[in-house]
Structure 1
Amino acid sequence: MKPTGHGSGDGPGRQKILDIYLNDHLAGATAGTALARRMVDEHRDSAYGSELKTLAAEISHDRHYLLRLLDDLDVAVSHYKVYGAWLGEKASRAKPNGRLLRRSGLTLLVELETMRVGVQGKVLLWRALLSASEDEPRLEHDWLEQLLERAEQQLRMLDSLHARATTALLSAAPPQQTADAAR
């Protein structure tokens, strides 16, 4: 990262918008990191385990880089947003899936889709910051390019995992069983 001094064009409105924007993404990254770790724990020995482990490590690293970015841009962490996102991810585990005590096969699909939405948001964050890097000397263009490329690779990995999970869940069982599993 570049030096942490404020750019000459910073006004209080611009800084406040940046604070909110980055903290919202940090909250999302917190929930995404927790979800990715849980998915690794639950699918460690499955056909998806290795890729989920790689994805979880990258998502955790990306969250770390986002925290570093907040520090470099003199943005205070909104702890209530971070804790709220963490609690929200925990609460999302209680969603009804048609099974009382165990997860349905559909849960993996929904979690992969949730992860994809989060990573797509991260792609948009890095793109927005890349655009802002032209006017903001504290944003390192090359570093942001690398983060954007990695997020785009994560999207491709999630798409591949989702396609495999969809085929396994929706195509492997006779039509009646597939309909019952999706409820």
Structure 2
Amino acid sequence: MTACLRDPRSDRLSLLGVYLNDHLAGATLGTELARRMAKAERHAATAQELRRLAAEIAEDRASLLDIMRALGVRPRRYKAGAGWLAEKAGRLKGNRQLVRRSPLSSLLELEMLRIGVEGKALGWRALREVADGHERLDKRRLDGLLDRARDQGATLERLHLQRVAHALPAS
């Protein structure tokens, strides 16, 4: 019986590719969701904030693709497509409204986007943690992406609390 000799570093690089492509799927979903939320928002100030967030989230997705390219990781279209499709499927919520948006739609979408931003921040943290072993990972860029994710999370938290007051009863 011969032992299967595998290069542990090669296995880890393969896993890094899977990991980054999974984050690409999430980034695709988040980009689509943020854009749709910005278009659907009726309050001008909130719509402006959501447009800014949508632009930043799209930039973060582009940064992820840049990082993947730098590391030699091929984007898997089917994973990005799955993220796109998941966002479209997420529109089908049982929110007791058929032809117009329910106040619950915005609340749940803010929660979903907040979860996505936290997941993105975890991804940036993970890359920052392994940056010493990858000369192609720019620590300062990752720090900036992580800072922006924290700012996005704070903005989404504030918008979420505002939306709670409109969507859910106080008593």
TM-score normalised by structure 1 residue count: 0.85
The alignment of Structure 1 onto Structure 2 pairs a total of residues equal to 165
Q: Which has the higher contact order (CA 8 A, sep 6+)?
A: 1
Contact 1:44 1:50 in 2 (8 A): no
**Over the residues paired in the alignment, what is the CA RMSD in angstroms?**
1.6
- Which of 54, 65, 83 in structure 1 is aligned with 2:52? 54
Q: Structure 2: how far apart are the matches of 1:146 and 1:55?
A: 15
The CA deviation string for residues 20-40 of structure 1, in whole angstroms up to 9 with x for no partner, is 000000000000000000001
Structure 2 residue aligned with 1:95: 93
The CA deviation string for residues 38-94 of structure 1, in whole angstroms up to 9 with x for no partner, is 001101544411110111010000000000111000001111011111011111111
Contact 2:103 2:166 in 1 (8 A): no
Aligned 1:69-148 pairs, distance under 5 A? 69-148=67-146
Q: What is the CA distance between 1:128 and its match in structure 2?
A: 0.6
Identity of aligned residues (%): 45
Tell me which amino acid in the other structure corresponds to 1:57.
A
Q: Which has the higher helix share?
A: 2
Q: Structure 1: how far apart are the matches of 2:17 and 2:89?
A: 26
SS of 1:133's equivalent?
A: helix
Structure 1 residue aligned with 2:152: 154
The CA deviation string for residues 79-113 of structure 1, in whole angstroms up to 9 with x for no partner, is 10111110111111112111121111011110000
Structure 1 residue aligned with 2:167: 169
Contact 1:129 1:144 in 2 (8 A): yes
Tell me which amino acid in the other structure corresponds to 1:97.
N
Which structure 2 residue ranges, 5 or more long, are not aligned? 1-6
